Amino acid sequence: MQSVLGFLAVIVGVVLAFKLIVILFHSLGWLIGVAAMVVWIGALIHIALNQFSSFGAKAFWFLLVLFTHVFGAVLYLLFGRPRNVISRIVY
């Protein structure tokens, strides 16, 4: 069940990212916008693929990053990443 929720969370993040990229390409700082989007999507994927101490912690970080975009992604990358855990990357 948790892996299904993680997969759905990544799909929602990617759909929102594509909507965001349309907005970002219309501004002068499109390169910064693309870099910010990569950090945002990377954080969402990292949250979805890694284990946390509880599902509540995972849901909190995912929703924070999803709704606060780059600000939440930077907070997650600085403070929220699980320590001493090997990433589970599915090939």
pLDDT digits (tens, 9 = 90+) for 26-59: 665 667 778 888 999 999 999 888 888 888 888 9
- What percent of the chain stands above pLDDT 90? 12
User: CA Rg, the chain, in Å?
Assistant: 13
Please name the residue that has the structure tokens 């945002």. Answer: 40
Which of 58, 57, 56 is CA-nearest to residue 47? 58
- For residue 32, give both structure tokens: 């910064």
pTM over 0.85? The answer is no
